[in-house]
Structure 1
Amino acid sequence: MIGSVHIRHALRTDAREIARVHVEAVRVAYKNIYADEHLKKLSADRMALNWLHEEKGHLVNSEYVVFIALIDDKVIGFADIGPALKHPLIFSPHGEHGGRDLVF
């Protein structure tokens, strides 16, 4: 039986576990969109640094609020809330990654 889901505000100390879930989610979501070699290079350690980046890391930037979901004290998901992107994402069907690409 799976334990209960607990939701709480994320702390800076949660960065590594948030990054682990983030990398797993990107690998699943973008499989067959980006090359496997690209997805294999994703690093939870590097992603954790992004979450803690002094200027734009969502765990340190006061414009963002980050929540994590836990089961039995293990992070299973996250959500971050903040201002909209200044430049929208555009999906390009003719990109260099297998014919599909995201353009910023």
Structure 2
Amino acid sequence: MLWGTNNVMECQVLKEIAAARGKSIAHICLRWVHEQGVSVLVKSFNKERIKQNLDIFDWKLSQEDLKRMSQIPQQRACVAAAFVSEKGPYKSVDEFWDGEI
């Protein structure tokens, strides 16, 4: 990952899905996380943005949206090398990630 850039907010696929649905890229991402059954904590001190972040529950992503999103190349922000040790529970980075992207 290139630090200092925001690959998510600049992703063309997410821009296209957001534009087609009349939503923000943040809405698309938050809805995707929600549909995966994952809890997410969104931090903001801006009351309007907090309200906007809640606008993900009255619509769903289509199967086509999900298919397009699943084809976005994945990158890790943390390689996890600091968590690997011969004496620790994770002996290699592959073991730490357990096959996950």
Specify if TM > 0.5.
no
Q: TM-score, normalised by structure 1?
A: 0.27
Q: TM-score, normalised by structure 2?
A: 0.27
Higher helix share: 2
For the pair shown, which has the larger CA radius of gyration, 1 or 2?
A: 2
Answer 1 or 2: higher relative contact order, Cα 8 Å, separation at least 6: 1
